[in-house]
Every structure is written in structure tokens, then in C-alpha cells.
Structure 1
Amino acid sequence: MLNDRPSALGGTYADPTSATARIQFRRALTLAAMTLVMPGSAQLVQGNRRVGRIAIRVWLTVLALAAVFVLFALMDRQFVFGLATNATLLTLGRWVLVALALGWISLIVDAWRLGRPRELARPHLAISTVLHGALVVGTAAVLFFAAHTVSVMNGFTDTVFASTTVSKPHDGRYNVLLMGTDSGQDRSGMRPDSINVASIDADTGKAVLIGLPRNLENVPFPKGSPLRKQFPNGFDCDGCYLNAVNTWANDHADLFTTKEPGIDATMGAVEEITGLKLNYYALVNMKGFSRLIDAVGGVEINVRERTAIGGIGSPIRGYIEAGEQQLSGDKALWYARSRVENDDWSRMGRQKCVMNAMVRQLNPQKVLMNMQDIANSSSAMLHTSIPRQDLNVFMDLALKTKSQPISSVSLVPPVIYTGNPDYDKVRRLVSDAVGSSQRNAELQKAALVTAKLPLIEAGGETQKKDPRKANRSADLNETC
């Protein structure tokens, strides 16, 4: 042809202005698009048909499985979560994703070859090569990232949710003991600074958060507990508060037959205090919680009062000012634990604010894009008895809980005097709070309460607070 000229690769370059050159260029682009939309289609029409047929069958199988997955997700979300947390399926899925990535990349490279690059005009060859290269990089990035995410999730669940004991709901509710502690070489034993029970309706996800002061005295123990034999009238030794049960039991581990005497003893004490049968516990290292908040880009909180940073064994080094704030992990940790210029009751309320804010603001996009950092921080942060087999249940409940207001009952003065608690009254308050939550589970909608969590104290009544009141220590559930 008059418009063709020699190529450095041994063929001929077409003149880009000729009709033949434009047709060749469109063919190359079409083959690339076909491979992107349906891998193997380019080979089916232009290359090795056997390879094309295999690739298309694999692709259609993947699409069919994805459609079935979506259908099941709409019909039974808990079943899908079960598949997504199954160790065998996650391992298989990881290698399937790697294989798909390598196969798809090979098909894209072959589509570039089928486009006869030696016969393309120089500008068309450059565009085709860049386009195919971008498809290779994009496909590899997406599928290898997906494989890495699956691997991270599998490792995280293996590490954190290692328990194999499954607990069924009690009276239609899952009751989980939540404990927050600061670990460090300067601390003697492990005394939880934050002790709460999350009572969650197993069907609706409606939750009640029960806050227990760490300095509750004369803590009762259940029958059969070694602690009850040592303290038949309650935990009445010097400095023996609720948060010291863990340390005492660990220091006297020879009296127990369990692997975690401190946690088991604390769970038994909390069951006696609240009258609730606990299913699981989750122990959160507060420094790890700080790293988790940083991993998701901070947490937005309506700070109720100016709160000191530092001051616990060191000078105050700053303040978190009142108002809407985007808090980093370090500041959120200080907001949750500071008690320099206020007290334990105020701190309990702020801890609930931080927990509620994290529940509301975490979303699948944040989790997916920060999976590695979240897994690293969570592995260092969380120790729990929730087994991997129950992860699907709690993932489903978490989504239900997220869409509803969380009720709260706080066992603090003046309702409960921590120095000499009326535990019969405590159990009535808890029973009223849980009963109220069950009765209203079907009626309450998340949109009805967006700015204020209901406060359930003293018989389940919602109590109004005087905004002019100087001492706000008992006002634990004001807007966070």
C-alpha cells in the first residue's frame, strides 16, 4: 500500500489518516473493550476460541455467583455474613481472586496482541498500548486489593474471634459485657476503667447500654463462685470495688478452674448485680481504641463540656473545647477517660458518647478503605469471647442497632449510692430498662430520635435535666 511505511518491529506502519489505519485502530479498541466487559470474548471472535469459551464460562459463573450472593443478601443477610466470615471460604476466595486477576491480565495482554500492534500507526499503537496497560494495572489493583482484604479479614477473625463456645440468647437477648482498660507497666493488675453491659434484642437489634460504676462496693457473687466463699457478704475488703474483681481473681488463680479467672469472676459479679445472664465479653484496650479511631479518620462528637487533656499523674496539657468536634484517637481517648476537673459519673457519660458516635459513624466504605489499619488496631485493641461462628449474628445485629436509638441506664448517684448499693433496686432498674426496650422495639424509628439518647433511670422514666445546673455529674446521656 502507498500509505504504509516500514516498522521497526519488522512489519509496516499504516498512515493514521488512511481508512485501513482507522479500522485497525477501532478493532484494537473494540477488542480491549470486549475483554473488559466480558473476558474471553475477544479470543472467541479473533483468537483462540477454546480459551475464549473457557474464559467466558468462568466469567458467567462469577456473575451468576455474584447474583446469587446479592439475592441471598436481600433475603437472609445473616446467612451471607456467615459465608463472608467462613475461614475455608475466605481462604478459597482469596486464591480465586488471585487466579482471576492473573487470568484477566493474560486475556488483556492477548487482546492487545490480537489487535495487531505491528500494523498500527505510531499514534494508534501508543494509545492502544497505554490503554491496555491501564486495563492491566486497574484490573490487577482491584482484584489483588480484594484478595488482600479477604486475607486481612481472615487473619483478623482468626486472631480476635478465636473462641469456639457459642452462647444462645437469654430471654430473646444477647447480653455482652464491655470492659475498657488502659494497660501499661505502671499499672498494678488490670482494673477496667469502663464497665458496661450491652443488652441487645436478638430479633430487632434494639439495644440498652447499662453503665456500671467502677467503684461499686460490696459487689455480690453468684453461688458456686470461689469469691462468694471468700466474701459471703459481698466484696467488702479494703479498696475492693467492682473494677478490682478481675485483679483479685487473677492474683488468686489457684482458687479457680477456668483459664481466665479474672474475667470470669467479673462476669459472675456483673450477672449478680444486673440480674442479666451474660453471653459474651469484649475487653477493649483503650490505647488500641485510640488507634482504631485514627484508622477511620477520627470521630465526630458534640462535646458537652470543656474537658482536660492530661492531668492524671501529669500536668494538664490542653483542653477539648465544648461544641461539635472532629476528635483524633488521642483526643477521643482523653474525652472518654479524663476525670481531672469532673468525676467518674461524667466520665461514664462521655464514654457512652464515644461508643455511640462510633456505632453511628462507622460505615462499610470506611471499613473497606481502611481494612488493614482497622485490623491491626483492632487486633491490639480487642479481646473477646465472641466466637467466629457467631460473627454473622453480631454483624447483622450491628446494622440493626445502628439504625435505632440506643437506650441507656446508668447506676449512679443520686439513683444508686455506690458506697452501699441497693442491688435489689439495681436489678429493678435494669429489668425496667430492658422491658421498656422490648416493648418499644417495634415502635421506635431511628429518624424520630437523631439528637438525644433517651435516659432511662429510676424506674425507666425519662428524666429532664436543668441546663442551668452547675453539677451535671448525673446527666450522663445528654446529647453527645
Structure 2
Amino acid sequence: MSERTAASSASPDGTAADGVADRAARVRFRRAITLMGFTLIAPGSAQLIAGNRRVGRIALRIWAVLWLAGLLMLVISLLDHKLALRLAFNSDLLLLLRLGLFAGAIGWAALFMDAWRIGQPLSLRMPHRRAAVGVNGLLCFGVAGSLLFGAHLVGVQRDLAIALFGDGQVTDAHHGRYNVLLLGGDSGAGRWGLRPDSMTVASIDEVTGKTVLIGLPRNMENFPFREGSVMAEQFPDGFDCDGCYLNGVSTWAGDHPDLFGDSDDPGVDATIMAIEGVTGLSINYWAMVNLDGFRELVNAIGGVTLNIRQPIPVGGLGSDVTGYIQPGVRKLTGYETLWYARAREGSDDYSRMARQKCVLNAFLHQVSPEAALTNFEALAKAATGVFSTNLPSSEVGTFLELALKARSQKVATVSLVPPRINTADPDIDLVRSMVSDAIERSEGTAPAPTTKKNKKKVDQPVTGGSLGTRDTGYAANESDDLASAC
């Protein structure tokens, strides 16, 4: 009886033995895949279970520290946005993070390879061995590739932080406001600060972020400089030389750099002295945009939407005009946006100033954090070539937070142009009164001016693509709500 039982349990073809071998093979395969899965979830756990425990403990401790650091950064971001933004633009911290991502990619890939070794791949059957190799390769290259791509993005962010932000001195708000001079300059080597094409002061409430844009015409003459400044000493009666305009201050200073000591940019410094003399405001920081490179910035965010009131000529003056941007609410490319802001055919300087303010307003309200993140790499690449400032990186958190606040509020504007201001012989007392009144209305400490409302907006004149005329004033040059004027 026992002999028959033994015979029946071991068939001639060895089926039972093969079944045991199959189960053992599946167990080994599951074990190999499990070790890789553990390495994905908790790097070092595979080594702690079946390999070099010392390596496993070190890897797990590093993993735990990184999780704690990540949670700490999340808490900081939720509790103190300003500090989080400051850290995000700290070049030293970004360099450390980048090196850490490189090391993490190499170390994690090594742990995957070791987990594959621990899984004894040579003991697996060929189909299982191939599957294990495939899974390990997918995990190894997927995780390492993600970390290396993250290191690339951190590098882009670091390059952006270094290229964008200067080493200017940190300054406090003046009477509760930060005043930032925005300059639009022509392109070309060595042309930063050479005859800025547009000059606007953004006066920003240090608490609410509510902003007033103060536009200064490039053709202003006979204006004073800030008292006690180098330029005031050279021109005690104002900038009254023959053919001397506000946008020529930069060129004059560039021809006399010895007057400005160790200044890195005499042209910008002299222009600030002029702006402060005209407006009575103290400028905290300045930022310059290369206008020809500006189109790349617009393209990087996918374009901006503007209300085109009249056909806007493209290509220059007269016979140089190559086409038109047609009327309507349109999303413009960078090239079209640049010509919308700079077109001169059929326009005057003051209608151009109005259109430029509409572009600034569109940028503020249309470039959302989501759009910036989605187009981060292209935006960073474009910005490094077109933007320059003396804003120290330590202040970036403050201004990004103010920009986010400003997005939800109306932007006010006032421009020192005709018909209220004679640019050839400006009334500086009136200029400063206009500036202070606009700021007070923005802060809600002064009533809005009483004006007669037009019954039909469509009947309002449009000149050079801007609502209004030179003689009556352009709506976007003086408004408590720039969006409605655009």
C-alpha cells in the first residue's frame, strides 16, 4: 500500500516536482519585485531587509530627513509666503538643492541596482529575469530621470535669480509705499539705459499692493533734478540745454561717467535723479525691460489679450508699415504686442503711453502663478535676456507677494502729459499735486474727481488706438481704473 502511494505521488514526468519549482520561482520573483517596490517607497528598506543594513539605515535616515524638510517647507509656505518666496530665489540654497538632486538621482539609482542584485536575478527563470530587468530599469531611469529634470529646473531657477536680481541696497517704503521706476530701453549691445523709450513709476502700497502707475513723457524739458544730487549741481536751473529731453538724461550721464563715482549705471542713476525731481517721490528700485526682447517674454506666457480699438500699424512709419493689427478683443503674440505698444504711425507719444499702460495692466492681471509655472522654463529663458534691475534678491518675496495682491485690485494711472501738463515747460507744483492726488485716491483718502459720464462710450473718440485725444486727454493716461480705460 505504501509503495503504491509513493509511486502515485511521483509521476514519471516529475509533475509534482515541477509544481514545487514553479512556486519557488514565483516566490523568488515576487521577492525581487517587492524589494524594488520597497526601494521606490522607502529607499534603503531593501538593504535593511536583505542586504547591507548599514547602507539601508543611512539611506532611510536621509529619506526621513528629506521628508521632514519637505514638510517644514510646506508649513513655511502656508504660514509665511514671503519667506518661502525669498528662499525660492536664494541662489546659494538653489545651488545646494541642485547638487542634492544630482546626488539623489545617483544614489537612488544605485539603491535600485542593489535591490535588483539582492533579488538574486540569476536564480530567476528567464521570463521572470527579463521582467525584473524591465521593472528595475523603468524604476531606476524613471526616478533618476525625474530627479535630474528637477535639478535642471532648479538650475534654470537659479540662473533666473542671478540674472534678474541685482545687488542694490535694501530700502524701506516711503510713506507706506514702494516706488519702482520701470524703464523700457532699446535693444543692442551696451544699450541698457540709452535713451529709455518709456518711463513709468509704479507706486505700490506696502500693505495692500494697490498700485498707481505714473507715466512720464520722454520729451519733457526744463525739469528740475532732485535737490542735492549730482545732476542738480550740473543743472541748477533744470535740464534746460538745447534739445535736452527727459529720455536724454541717460545719454548725458553716460558721456560724463566721472561725475558718478563708482556707479555701475550712471544713465539710470541720473534718470532717477530726474524722476525724483519731477514727481517729488523717492525711488526705491528700478527695473529695465529690453523692448525688442519683450516679445519673447510675451510669447513665453502664450500671449496677452488686449482690446484693439483701431487698426494698429505694424512695421514703422509711412512706407515701412507692413500690416495692421485689426480691431477687436484679441490675444496678441509677442511681436504684435510689441507693435501695439510702440506703433507711431497715426499716433502721438501720449497715445503710445496710454497703450503701454494697457500692456502693463494686461501683464499684471493675465500672468497668473499657474501660467508662470506652466511656462516656467520658457519664461525664465526669456526674462534673463530682457530684464535688468537693482532689486536685491532678498526683497523678491516682498514684491511677488505685493504683485499677487495687486492682481485682484484696480490699477490707477496718472500721466504727466497734455492737456494738463505742458511738456516743454512743466508746472512742477501741478505735477506733484497730480501725483499726490492720484496716490491719495488710490488709498481712499481723497474723493474721486467729479466728471460728466458719457452716455455712450462708443461715441468717445479714439486716437492712435487709445480712447481719447491729445487735447482732451487719453483715458488710460489718467484713470482710477486702468482696466476700464483700456
For residue 79 of structure 2, what is the aligned residue in structure 1?
75
For residue 279 of structure 1, what is the aligned residue in structure 2?
284
CA distance in 1, matches of 2:20, 2:443: 74
Letter in 2 for 1:157: A
For residue 460 of structure 2, what is the aligned residue in structure 1?
469
CA distance in 1, matches of 2:380, 2:318: 31
Alignment map for 1:213-228 (pairs within 5 Å): 213-228=217-232
Alignment map for 1:222-237 (pairs within 5 Å): 222-237=226-241
For residue 408 of structure 2, what is the aligned residue in structure 1?
403
Q: 1:100 to 1:354 in 2, by over 3 A?
A: same
CA distance in 2, matches of 1:310, 1:66: 51
Is structure 2 residue 96 aligned with structure 1 residue 96?
A: no
Q: 1:30 to 1:360 in 2, by over 3 A?
A: farther
CA distance in 2, matches of 1:151, 1:112: 32
CA distance in 1, matches of 2:140, 2:202: 48
CA distance in 2, matches of 1:385, 1:186: 17
Displacement of 1:85: 2.4
CA distance in 2, matches of 1:394, 1:43: 47
CA distance in 1, matches of 2:365, 2:250: 31
CA distance in 2, matches of 1:135, 1:184: 48
Q: 1:122 to 1:278 in 2, by over 3 A?
A: same
- Kindly indicate whether the alpha-carbon contact (under 8 Å) linking 1:302 and 1:479 is maintained by their aligned counterparts in 2: no
For residue 59 of structure 2, what is the aligned residue in structure 1?
55
For residue 289 of structure 1, what is the aligned residue in structure 2?
294
For residue 130 of structure 2, what is the aligned residue in structure 1?
126
CA distance in 2, matches of 1:46, 1:159: 49
3-state SS of paired residue (1:418) = coil
3-state SS of paired residue (2:458) = coil
For residue 313 of structure 2, what is the aligned residue in structure 1?
308
Displacement of 1:191: 1.2
For residue 29 of structure 1, what is the aligned residue in structure 2?
33
Q: 1:331 to 1:15 in 2, by over 3 A?
A: farther
3-state SS of paired residue (2:410) = coil
- Kindly indicate whether the alpha-carbon contact (under 8 Å) linking 1:222 and 1:268 is maintained by their aligned counterparts in 2: yes
CA distance in 2, matches of 1:203, 1:337: 33
For residue 161 of structure 2, what is the aligned residue in structure 1?
157
3-state SS of paired residue (1:236) = coil
- Kindly indicate whether the alpha-carbon contact (under 8 Å) linking 1:160 and 1:379 is maintained by their aligned counterparts in 2: yes
Alignment map for 1:228-377 (pairs within 5 Å): 228-257=232-261, 259=263, 260-312=265-317, 315-368=320-373, 370-377=375-382
Is structure 2 residue 49 aligned with structure 1 residue 45?
A: yes
CA distance in 1, matches of 2:19, 2:336: 65
CA distance in 1, matches of 2:449, 2:217: 18
Letter in 1 for 2:290: N
Spell out, residue by residue over 1:168-202, the C-alpha distance to the aligned partner (whole angstroms, 9 max, x if none).
11112111000001134899982111110011112
Structure 1 runs (4+) deviating above 6 angstroms are 14-17, 185-189
3-state SS of paired residue (1:137) = helix
Q: Percent identity between the aligned chains?
A: 46
Q: 1:128 to 1:314 in 2, by over 3 A?
A: farther
Return the TM-score normalized by structure 2. 0.84
For residue 112 of structure 1, what is the aligned residue in structure 2?
116
CA distance in 2, matches of 1:236, 1:22: 92
For residue 194 of structure 2, what is the aligned residue in structure 1?
190
In structure 1, the gaps of 5 or more residues are 6-13, 441-455
Letter in 2 for 1:333: L
In structure 2, the gaps of 5 or more residues are 1-12, 463-467, 477-481
Displacement of 1:470: 2.7
CA distance in 2, matches of 1:425, 1:27: 83
Displacement of 1:233: 3.3
CA distance in 1, matches of 2:38, 2:193: 64
CA distance in 1, matches of 2:189, 2:207: 43
CA distance in 2, matches of 1:434, 1:163: 29
Displacement of 1:351: 1.4
CA distance in 2, matches of 1:331, 1:16: 74
> Which structure has the larger Rg over C-alpha atoms?
2
CA distance in 1, matches of 2:333, 2:414: 28
- Kindly indicate whether the alpha-carbon contact (under 8 Å) linking 2:285 and 2:391 is maintained by their aligned counterparts in 1: yes
Letter in 1 for 2:120: R
Q: 1:430 to 1:47 in 2, by over 3 A?
A: same
- Kindly indicate whether the alpha-carbon contact (under 8 Å) linking 1:346 and 1:475 is maintained by their aligned counterparts in 2: no
Letter in 1 for 2:413: S
Q: 1:461 to 1:418 in 2, by over 3 A?
A: farther
CA distance in 2, matches of 1:375, 1:16: 61
- Kindly indicate whether the alpha-carbon contact (under 8 Å) linking 1:16 and 1:22 is maintained by their aligned counterparts in 2: no
Spell out, residue by residue over 1:387-443, the C-alpha distance to the aligned partner (whole angstroms, 9 max, x if none).
122222222222222333322222333233323322222212211222222338xxx
For residue 446 of structure 1, what is the aligned residue in structure 2?
none
Return the TM-score normalized by structure 1. 0.85
For residue 394 of structure 1, what is the aligned residue in structure 2?
399
The structure richer in helix per residue is: 2
- Kindly indicate whether the alpha-carbon contact (under 8 Å) linking 1:416 and 1:422 is maintained by their aligned counterparts in 2: yes
CA distance in 1, matches of 2:261, 2:16: 88
Q: 2:427 aligns with which of 402, 422, 426?
A: 422
CA distance in 1, matches of 2:437, 2:193: 35
Spell out, residue by residue over 1:282-331, the C-alpha distance to the aligned partner (whole angstroms, 9 max, x if none).
11111222222223333333333321111248611111122232322222
Letter in 1 for 2:179: N
- Kindly indicate whether the alpha-carbon contact (under 8 Å) linking 2:219 and 2:247 is maintained by their aligned counterparts in 1: yes
Letter in 1 for 2:443: Q
CA distance in 1, matches of 2:275, 2:180: 11
3-state SS of paired residue (1:195) = strand
Q: 1:428 to 1:191 in 2, by over 3 A?
A: same
Q: 1:429 to 1:4 in 2, by over 3 A?
A: farther
Q: 1:16 to 1:256 in 2, by over 3 A?
A: farther
Please identify, of 61-70 and 23-32, the stretch whose mean Cα deviation from structure 2 is larger: 23-32
3-state SS of paired residue (1:467) = helix
CA distance in 1, matches of 2:20, 2:286: 70
Q: 1:312 to 1:19 in 2, by over 3 A?
A: farther
3-state SS of paired residue (1:177) = strand
Spell out, residue by residue over 1:203-238, the C-alpha distance to the aligned partner (whole angstroms, 9 max, x if none).
222222112222222222122234334433332333
Please identify, of 256-265 and 224-233, the stretch whose mean Cα deviation from structure 2 is larger: 224-233
Letter in 2 for 1:235: F
For residue 149 of structure 2, what is the aligned residue in structure 1?
145
- Kindly indicate whether the alpha-carbon contact (under 8 Å) linking 2:200 and 2:215 is maintained by their aligned counterparts in 1: yes
